[in-house]
Structure 1
């Protein structure tokens, strides 16, 4: 084996290792804004479990504002393990967001209700 072939093999091996490790760099969460254009709410989903939560900014009288978060409530907790994502609609007055199961094609709509993030049952 020549010296050049050995170096090329080593470079390809390192590149393959780095490319194979790329998913480990990706976080377990995905974030997306609510489509409503006058709502400063951001939804968060655990991509493996489908658990959804939301946070938004709230003004505080006489000082710095607050980040207010709405934990998972009915239907928004962990689902069957899969590959989940968030999909905002293009409806500018919609405060909710779609939770999509990329493997099965099931969808549900998630929104904030009574200080909790809730989701409808998943369906196709």
Structure 2
């Protein structure tokens, strides 16, 4: 009986702790239907980056990544997510603060991922 109870508690602690093991990042594609870009956000800090595929002449393609630039770096700690618009020609994506409702738009500019100031 003691072994079964310990096993039950071990299982329960794994189930309860499960969400704590969730990843720190969220990924979403750019809404533009002819752009192979994926955005990444760090959920706690709101830092945004992007990567895309680029074909190399005569060989295998490469992954090009655009690090956080102006406005895309860490923000006030919170709970952030990505929200693509439904505009098929839009290369940017919305960064949303799920706690405050603030939003900004992030996009690639001059080999960096940049974001507008957050607003409500």
State TM-score, norm by structure 2.
0.93
Distance 2:37 2:29 in 1: 6
User: What is the aligned partner in structure 2 of residue 121 from structure 1?
Assistant: 117
Distance 1:122 1:9 in 2: 50
4+ aligned runs moved over 6 Å, structure 1: none
Residue aligned with 1:13, SS: helix
Q: Kindly provide the CA deviation profile for residues 11-46 of structure 1, in whole angstroms up to 9, marking residues without a partner as x.
A: 542232012221232111100000001000000000
Residue aligned with 2:60, SS: strand
Is 1:30 paired with 2:21? no
Is 1:106 paired with 2:118? no
Distance 1:81 1:10 in 2: 37
User: What is the aligned partner in structure 2 of residue 54 from structure 1?
Assistant: 50
Aligned residues: 120
Is 1:18 paired with 2:18? no
Compute the RMSD of aligned alpha carbons: 1.3
